[in-house]
C-alpha cells in the first residue's frame, strides 16, 4: 500500500525536478562550477547534469555533499524545495505554507524527500500541518 487514504504521495519525478533545479540554482549562485561537483562526488559530469535536471534522484549522501560544497543547511534546502513543490501542486498555498511553524515545514520537507507515507510520521504531524495550511 502506498500511503494513507486521502494523502496524495509526491509525484516523484516532479519532486526530483524541483530538487535538481534548486540545487543547480544554488550552485550557480555560489559560483561553483559543475567540475567541482564532479570532483567532490567522484562521478561523471553527465551524472551531475542528470541530478540537476531532475532525471535522477539524489541519495542522502549526495544531498549532504551538495550541501557541504554549497554551504547550505540540508534542512533549509528541503524546506525550500518542499515550499516550491507545494506551490507547484497548489498555486494558492505558498502564502499559507510560509505562515506554518518552521518545525512543521521541516517535517514536511523531510517527509517529501523520503517519500514517507503518513503512517510513518509522528502521530498528528500531518493533521497539524494540514490544519495549519488550511487555516483551521
CATH of the domain at 49: 1.10.260.40
> Given a cut of 70, is residue 49 above it in pLDDT?
yes
- Considering the domain architecture, whether residues 62 and 89 belong to the same structural domain is answered as no
Using alpha carbons, list the distances in angstroms from residue 19 to 44, 82, 85, 119: 19, 9, 9, 24
Per DSSP, the residues of 7-61 read -PPP-HHHHHHHHHHHHHHHHHHTT--HHHHHHHHTS-HHHHHHHHHTSS---HH
- Considering the domain architecture, whether residues 77 and 57 belong to the same structural domain is answered as no
Q: Which of 68, 70, 63 is nearest to 109 (CA)?
A: 63
Q: Which helix (H) or strand (E) holds 80?
A: helix 74-89
> Given a cut of 60, is residue 7 above it in pLDDT?
no
Is 87 domain-assigned? Answer: yes
- Considering the domain architecture, whether residues 58 and 78 belong to the same structural domain is answered as no
62-98 pLDDT per residue, tens: 888 899 999 999 989 998 998 888 788 766 666 666 6
Domain C-terminal end among 49, 72, 95 = 72
The domain in which residue 102 lies consists of 73-136
Question: What is the C-alpha end-to-end distance of the chain, expressed in Å?
Answer: 29
Q: Extract the C-alpha cell encoding 129.
A: 500541518
Number of domains comprising the chain: 2
Q: Which of 10, 1, 20, 8 is nearest to 112 (CA)?
A: 10
Is 82 domain-assigned? Answer: yes
- Considering the domain architecture, whether residues 100 and 134 belong to the same structural domain is answered as yes
CA gap 97, 126 in Å, rounded = 13
- Considering the domain architecture, whether residues 89 and 130 belong to the same structural domain is answered as yes
Domain C-terminal end among 72, 87, 102 = 72
Q: What is the pTM of this model?
A: 0.70
Residue 53's pLDDT is what? Answer: 95
Is 63 domain-assigned? Answer: yes
Is 2 domain-assigned? Answer: no
Find the mean pLDDT for residues 94-121.
Answer: 68
CA gap 33, 38 in Å, rounded = 9
Is 93 domain-assigned? Answer: yes
Domain C-terminal end among 33, 48, 72 = 72
Residue 97's pLDDT is what? Answer: 64
Amino acid at each position: 500500500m502506498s500511503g494513507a487514504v486521502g494523502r496524495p504521495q509526491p509525484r516523484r519525478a516532479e519532486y526530483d525536478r524541483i530538487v535538481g533545479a534548486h540545487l543547480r540554482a544554488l550552485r550557480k549562485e555560489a559560483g561553483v562550477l559543475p567540475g567541482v561537483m564532479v570532483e567532490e562526488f567522484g562521478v561523471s559530469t553527465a551524472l551531475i547534469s542528470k541530478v540537476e535536471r531532475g532525471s535522477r534522484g539524489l541519495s542522502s549522501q549526495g544531498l549532504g555533499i551538495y550541501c557541504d560544497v554549497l554551504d547550505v543547511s540540508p534542512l533549509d534546502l528541503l524546506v525550500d524545495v518542499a515550499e516550491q513543490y507545494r506551490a507547484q501542486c497548489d498555486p494558492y498555498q505558498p502564502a499559507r505554507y510560509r505562515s506554518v511553524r518552521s518545525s512543521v515545514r521541516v517535517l514536511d520537507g523531510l517527509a517529501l524527500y523520503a517519500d514517507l507515507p503518513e503512517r510513518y510520521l509522528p502521530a498528528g504531524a500531518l493533521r497539524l500541518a494540514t490544519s495549519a495550511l488550511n487555516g483551521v
